Every structure is written in structure tokens, then in C-alpha cells.
């Protein structure tokens, strides 16, 4: 029998069977993780083969994991050698962006987008907490959304608490499996609760001292909505360490640069100082946004993950 892992608590996995029954499963034996060094062998979203245990009511043993279409891993910023698999087989990743409480920086957005490009997962920016914005802040948000839309990313603006802007979001997630990411306190769990009243994820006010979230959600969990719509709530991202991306590959993960890469004079151009660099020319001409290019440079040098 086959099913989809919707929750993992370390030793137990909650699996949704093909006929929409829930069954608690355990893992027996060692699983090779497709050469990936991860701290967990199975993630939310994995399709697994299981066998019901004899004599045990309603529990089963996972015997196999189906090949993954894609996966999202988060590298520990402190330990280069360990990575945690957040989810597998997702159709899209939504980043909840908040201009304040907490502030999501452009550098953070760009790191997230580059990671999604590397994982080959379409990314969507969802600006949340729009109810908190002044007129000026709203204009600033619209300018950012315009910038990312022009690069090709879908941008939406919502308020999870006021439940505004949710209809386009509902249309976007319908029939798909979507991962919801963002800083702690950005409102991921609040949004889940707003999308379906049967979902009751715990939420917490952000700390008034640090203006940051308090990491209320501690493990990824998948929720089933009507119409085969799956949403994955995840713990807030503190820092985003990039998965292994070679220097020469990095520009490929910026769609607005990717289109130009054949046009630089040198085929191994790093787009930093080389003569005849088309990327630099477009930055100077203003067609590549300066903030994006700054993010490129900061990722290239491997400096701060935290802006
Ligand atoms: N004003 C306002 N507050 C919001 C909005 N969405 C969420 N919040 C508040 O932000 C706080 C944090 O929300 P959570 O849903 O717990 O945030 P989270 O992203 O799940 O955080 P972690 O689980 O820690 O990663 C709560 O007090 C919410 O009520 C919004 O649209 N507007
Ligand atoms: Mg949460
Ligand atoms: Zn170049």
C-alpha cells in the first residue's frame, strides 16, 4: 500500500493513504537518501510504501520511499555538513514577506528565490500584514512587488488576520501542494488557519522587544484542504544558508541574468569586474535592479546570510 507522509515526529510518521485514511507508520531498516546527507530520511510530502503490522491495530511499517520529484532542504547555518529535509514533492513555495513585524529584507527574499530556482520549485511572494502599513509603506511594498513581478515572480498582497486578498491566493493553491515559508512571526500558521477553519495551528504574538517571531511552529506538517489542495506549514526561517551552489552557477538562478549569460565576452564571466560583461552593462543601464545585483554579489562572496 502507498501513502503520502503528512507529518513526522522523528520516530513516527503520519501517512495519508490513497483512500484518504490516516495511518501511523514507523520506519524499519536503513534508508539511503539518494546520496543526500540529511538528518532525516523521510520528509513531509514523501510517497512511501508501507505494510500494516500484524496484530497491531492501525499501525504500519514503511518499507520503501518512492523517488522524489523535488525536495527542499535547509542547511544548518552553523554546521556545513548537516541539512534537514523540510519537504518533498512540492508544486510551489510561497514566501510570506512582511515589511515589518518582523521585517523581511530584500536580501532574504533573494536568497529564498535563488534556493527555489536551485530546487526547481516555482516561488511566489505573498506580502502579508498589509493591514499594518502606512500609505508610504504600502507604496514601497507595491514597488517591491513590481520589481519581482517584472522578473517573472507572482506577487500577492494579503492580510491573514483581516482575511483580505485571500481569493487570488486560494485560486493559486487549488489542487496543488504548496510549501509556506517565511520568518518566524510572518503569519504562516495564521494564514493556514484563515484558509480553512478546520485547521487550528498554534500562533503566537511576535516579541515586542525584538519585533521577531518566537518560533511557534517547530516541525513541518501538511494539511489537506478540499480539491486535493495540500498546504505545508513550516517552522520560521532564521537564517537561510544556501544549498551548495557553485559560483559559476549562481547567475543561472537569477532569471533576469540567466537570459543574458551567453552574451558576456568570457564564458566563465563572474559578472563582477570582467570587461564585456553584459550583466554589468544591464545593471548600469538599470534593467537589472541594483538590489538584485547586490544580492548576487553578497551570495557570491558567501558573506552574511542574515540581511
Ligand atoms: N496585523 C497582522 N498580524 C498578523 C497577520 N498575520 C499574522 N499576524 C500575527 O502575527 C503573529 C505571528 O503569527 P504566526 O501565524 O504565529 O506566525 P508564523 O509565521 O506561523 O511563526 P512561526 O510558527 O514562529 O514560524 C500572530 O500574533 C498573528 O496574529 C496579519 O495579516 N496582520
Ligand atoms: Mg507557525
Ligand atoms: Zn558577465
H-state helical runs in 23-73: none
Q: Where are the CATH 1.10.40.50 domain residues in the chain?
A: 250-300
Q: Where are the CATH 2.40.50.140 domain residues in the chain?
A: 2-65
- Ligand 2 centroid vs 203 CA: distance in angstroms? 6
- The region of weakest confidence among 106-120, 127-141, 159-173, 238-252 is 238-252
| pLDDT score of 145 | 98
Q: Residue 130 CB: number of other CB atoms within 10 A?
A: 18
Q: Where are the CATH 3.40.50.300 domain residues in the chain?
A: 85-233
Question: Which ligand does the CA of 261 lie closest to?
Answer: 3
For the domain bounded by 2-65, which CATH number is listed?
Answer: 2.40.50.140
Question: What residues pair up with 74 in beta bridges, in sequence order?
Answer: 84
**What DSSP assignment string belongs to 74-122?**
EE-SS-TT-EEEEEES-SEEEEEE-SSSSPPPHHHHHHHHHHHHHHT--
Q: How far apart are CA 246 and CA 219, in angstroms?
A: 29
Which of 203, 233, 236 has most ligand 1 atoms within 8 Å of CB, for mutation?
203
What digits encode the pLDDT tens for the residues 60-99?
999 999 999 999 988 766 676 778 889 999 999 999 999 9
Q: How far apart are CA 89 and CA 171, in angstroms?
A: 20
Q: How far is CA 199 from CA 12, 206, 222, 231, 236, in A?
A: 21, 21, 11, 11, 18
- Ligand 2 centroid vs 233 CA: distance in angstroms? 7
Name the CATH superfamily, with its identifier, for domain 250-300: Probable gtpase engc; domain 3 (1.10.40.50)
Ligand 1 lined by 203 (C-beta under 6 Å):
yes
- Look up the CATH architecture of domain 85-233: 3-Layer(aba) Sandwich (3.40)
| pLDDT score of 306 | 42
Confidence at 242, pLDDT banded by 50, 70, 90: low
Ligand 1 lined by 235 (C-beta under 6 Å):
yes
Ligand 1 lined by 204 (C-beta under 6 Å):
yes
| pLDDT score of 77 | 62
What digits encode the pLDDT tens for the residues 127-152?
999 999 999 999 999 999 999 999 99
The larger pLDDT score, comparing residue 304 to residue 211, is at 211
What digits encode the pLDDT tens for the residues 108-133?
999 999 999 999 999 999 999 999 99
Element (H, E) at 233: strand 229-233
Amino acid at each position: 500500500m502507498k501513502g503520502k507522509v503528512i507529518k513526522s515526529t522523528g520516530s513516527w510518521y503520519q501517512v495519508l493513504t490513497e483512500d484518504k485514511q490516516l495511518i501511523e507508520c514507523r520506519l524499519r531498516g536503513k534508508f539511503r537518501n539518494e546520496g543526500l546527507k540529511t538528518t532525516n530520511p523521510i520528509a513531509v510530502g514523501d510517497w512511501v510504501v508501507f505494510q500494516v503490522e500484524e496484530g497491531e491495530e492501525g499501525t504500519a511499517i514503511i518499507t520503501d520511499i518512492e523517488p522524489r520529484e523535488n525536495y527542499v532542504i535547509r542547511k544548518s547555518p552553523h554546521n556545513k555538513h548537516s541539512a534537514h529535509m523540510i519537504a518533498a514533492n512540492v508544486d510551489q513555495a510561497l514566501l510570506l514577506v512582511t515589511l515589518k513585524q518582523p521585517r523581511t529584507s530584500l536580501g532574504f527574499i533573494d536568497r529564498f528565490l535563488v534556493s527555489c530556482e536551485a530546487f526547481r520549485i516555482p516561488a511566489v511572494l505573498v506580502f502579508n500584514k498589509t493591514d499594518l502599513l502606512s500609505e508610504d509603506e504600502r507604496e514601497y511594498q507595491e514597488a517591491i512587488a513590481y520589481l519581482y513581478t517584472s522578473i517573472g515572480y507572482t506577487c500577492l498582497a494579503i492580510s491573514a488576520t483581516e482575511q483580505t486578498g485571500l481569493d487570488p491566493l486560494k485560486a493559486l493553491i487549488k489542487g496543488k501542494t504548496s510549501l509556506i515559508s517565511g520568518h518566524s512571526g510572518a503569519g504562516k500558521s495564521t494564514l493556514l488557519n484563515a484558509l480553512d477553519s478546520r485547521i487550528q495551528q498554534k500562533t503566537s504574538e511576535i516579541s515586542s522587544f525584538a519585533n521577531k517571531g518566537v518560533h511557534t511552529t517547530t516541525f513541518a506538517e501538511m494539511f489537506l484542504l478540499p480539491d486535493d489542495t495540500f498546504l505545508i506549514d513550516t517552522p520560521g526561517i532564521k537564517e537561510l544558508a544556501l544549498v551548495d551552489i557553485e559560483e559559476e552557477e549562481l547567475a543561472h538562478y537569477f532569471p533576469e541574468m540567466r537570459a543574458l549569460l551567453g552574451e558576456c565576452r568570457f564564458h566563465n564571466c563572474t559578472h563582477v569586474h570582467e570587461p564585456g560583461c553584459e550583466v554589468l552593462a544591464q545593471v548600469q543601464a538599470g534593467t537589472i535592479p541594483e538590489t538584485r545585483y547586490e544580492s548576487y554579489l553578497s551570495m557570491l562572496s558567501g558573506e552574511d546570510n542574515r540581511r
